[in-house]
Amino acid sequence: MKQTGNWKRERLGLLMIAASLVAIVFLVILLLAHQRDSRESAIRTRGLNLVQLLSGMPVQELLPKDGQRGLLQVFGYGQRSTEIAYAGLVDPAGRVLNGFTAPGVIMPETKIPDEPSSWLAEQPRDADGRSVIEFHAPLLADGRLRGFIRLGYFKPTLKIGYEQLPFIASLALTVFLLTPIFYLLVKREVSPLRAASHQIDVLIRSDTFQKVDLSATGELSDFLQSFNRFTERSLQRIHELESGGDSLQTSNMLLSYKQGRIEAVLQALPEAIIVLDETGAATYANAKVPGLLGIKRDEVVGQLPREWCVEPDLLAYLSRYQHNTNRGYAEPAVVFSHPQAPEKTIAATAYPLFSPHDPSQTSGTLVVFRDVTQEFMAREARGEFVAHVAHELKSPLNVLHLYSDELLEMGSGDEALRIEAVNVIHDEVDRLSTLINNLLSITKIEMGSMSLDRRRVRLRDLLQDAMESVSRNGRDTDLQFTLDLPRELPPVTVDKDLLRVAVNNLLTNAIKYNRPGGKVTLSAAETDEAIEIRVTDSGIGITHEDQAHIFEKFYRSNEEPVLQKPGHGLGLSLAKQIIDLHHGRLNVTSTPGHGTEFTIELSKEEDLVAQVI
């Protein structure tokens, strides 16, 4: 590779040497050709003059005589044998009468033309393979043609004579000396280009594009200055593009970061989310969609609602957002049942996504699906509760209304009825008051606003008081009341008033749903884990079906003996909530027809915690 590189680099020098050799050869050839032409011209002049001179001489002078050489021989030997091919005297018929030839040359035969105008002329001849220029002239004696003088000169050829060698050598030397000078000059002009080429090579091979500064003189100077400007501009442009690329990359990273964050937010939401584009096709569905809607995410994404939505109300709701770019408000939610689980209620709300550039345009729709089963149940329960409360309040009010009406109507006539009316009104007001108190307590507990006023209480005293109060109210009955308490009962940390309400409600029920001559027992016992308070009666009992519901608000049994007794269905519910508030347990065991036992369990551990607090 390196050798190839060197060879390439020195190619210019080699080319110049070759060119100088060609120039030398060309010059030598030109020189020789010129010499040849000069000699040929000199031969012509000399030949013609000589042949004319000889033709004017008397024939006798020309021919040998008395053993002496004739003029022709003399002439022939006097001439340089290198030029004269032959010289001869021929008769008109062309026969050679006298003459000489150069060594190895035979005088060619010739036929002199008959016309006198052609007697003095030159003709090219061939003598034993060598070109000859022949000059001939007539020999006249006494006005008569006696013969012809033929003079043949070798035609000059291109050949280097020894005498020319110094000249040629000096010429070649000059050319050789000029070649390196030219070479250096050219190299000097070319070197900036080579440097530029090298730098460009480096630029191409390197990863970064750098500024180059090339300089040269002469014509190249302008070119390189332009080139420098070009690279400078290119560099500038590259920097611009690179900084543009950097900001683009930053934007991309920011965008992907934002997208990631938005997606994380959408995934973290408890609701199922589907995003629709302007055409109504879903572009995104979060991970809650399959669980809430029973549809796989890939069945939703890229599809129009009609492809995945089987709920007609929802489909109609969503289709209103399709191709509708001007809708600028969210419609009220549409509520439907889960396709696979009808007990589940789902609410879907669509929110238009406004374009950030043009708030009058929407760029899609955000559809939020929420499981509102609990809300619906709570709403229904709330409605039911209010209806129950209204009914329970109105019932005593109605009785009050009827009796007060009756009192007004009858005046002071019927004393018995008046007493009855007053008693009923008194009882109903009591009933109403209890009902309102129970309602308030239950509502407070359910709202979480009931705070326990826990204090150390002597349980024995509390239970005794409760029993006394209840048995006093039940003194008109023939029930047998028993208080069975151990001698030692540890104090408990409870809300005295609330626990009293709970125990009171259990005792009231035990009296209300008892039988004539029945028993009501209030007992307490201490175990390792808890303190147990038991309210036992020998009453009508609670059926198995009813046992599952007795702690629900407003629940009343449909059993006839129960229906005969007034009640709101709140007493047990309240008792249960009070015990729950104390982190205790309220259990029931009952045998219909034989009696019921309610047990309050107050955990000792819980009691310890309460003491600390």
Partner 1 sequence: MPRVLIADDEPHVIRVLRLRLEHAGYQVETAANGAVALDHVRDHQPDVLITDVQMPRMTGRELCEQIQAELPDRKFLIVVLTSRTEVEHREWSRKLTNTRFLEKPASMSQLLAMLDDYFAAQLPIPGGTP
In terms of CB distance, is 86 or 403 closer to partner 1?
Answer: 403
Q: Is 405 in the site for partner 1 (CB under 8 A)?
A: yes
The binder of partner 1 chosen from 395, 469, 477, 547 (CB under 8 A)? 395
State yes or no: residue 407 binds partner 1 (CB under 8 A): no
Query: By C-alpha distance, which of 230, 186, 183, 187 is closest to 209?
Result: 230
**3 state DSSP class of 316:** helix
Interface stretch with partner 1, choices 23-31, 237-245, 471-479, 554-562 (CB under 8 A): 554-562
Specify the stretch interacting with partner 1 by CB under 8 A; choose among 101-109, 362-370, 403-411, 570-578.
403-411
The residue behind tokens 């039988």 is: 515
- Residue 280's contacts (CB-CB under 8 Å, 6 or more residues apart) are 304, 305, 318, 319, 321, 322, 323, 365
User: Smallest gap, in angstroms, from Cβ of residue 406 to partner 1?
Assistant: 6
**Structure-token pair, residue 258:** 């934002």
Q: Which is nearer to partner 1, 414 or 453 (CB)?
A: 414
**Closer residue to partner 1, CB minimum distance, 528 or 560:** 560
Nearer residue to partner 1 within complex by CB, 190 or 562: 562
Least CB distance to partner 1 at residue 591 (A):
22
Closer to partner 1 by CB, 223 or 555: give it: 555
Of 41-49, 134-142, 290-298, 384-392, the segment contacting partner 1 by CB under 8 A is 384-392
Please, what sign has the CA dihedral across residues 424, 429, 430, 431? positive
- Helices 2-9, 11-55: crossing angle, 10 deg rounding: 40
Q: Tell me the closest approach of the beta carbon of residue 414 to partner 1, in angstroms.
A: 9
The nearest distance, CB 545 to partner 1, in angstroms, is 14
409 is an interface residue for partner 1 by CB under 8 A: yes
If one asks whether residue 400 binds partner 1 (CB under 8 A), the answer comes out as yes
Residue with tokens 């001939």: 136
Identify the three-state secondary structure at position 590. strand
382 makes contact with partner 1 (CB under 8 A) = no
Q: What tokens appear for 598 in the block?
A: 């309610």
Q: What is the DSSP letter of 65?
A: B
SS3 417: helix
Q: Does 258 bind partner 1 (CB under 8 A)?
A: no
Least distance to partner 1, CB of residue 430, Å: 13
Phi-psi region of 98 (alpha: psi -120 to 50; beta: other; left: phi over 0): beta
Closest by CA to 16, choosing from 186, 165, 133, is 186
Q: Which of 225, 267, 279, 398 binds partner 1 (CB under 8 A)?
A: 398
For residue 144, what are its two tokens?
């008569």
Which range in 49-57, 226-234, 364-372, 557-565 contacts partner 1 by CB under 8 A?
557-565
Q: How far is the CB of 363 from partner 1 (least distance, A)?
A: 44
**Stretch in the footprint of partner 1 (CB under 8 A) among 34-42, 223-231, 392-400, 446-454:** 392-400
Closest alpha carbon to 179 in 21, 355, 56? 21
What is the distance between the alpha carbons of residues 175 and 320, in angstroms, rounded to a whole number? 97
The kind and range of the H/E element at 423 are helix 415-447
Closest contact distance (angstroms) between CB of 485 and partner 1 is 37
Give the contact letters, 423-452, x = binds to partner 1 (CB under 8 A), - = no: -x---x------------------------
For 96, 165, 597, the CA distances from 162, given in Å and listed in that order, are 36, 5, 156
Asked if residue 397 binds partner 1 (CB under 8 A), the reply is yes
Dihedral, CA of residue 127, residue 129, residue 130 and residue 131, to nearest 10: 80
- Supply the angle between the helices 165-205 and 219-268 in degrees, to the nearest 10: 20
Report the interface residues with partner 1, using CB under 8 A.
387, 390-391, 394-395, 397-403, 405-406, 409, 417, 424, 428, 556, 558, 560, 563-564
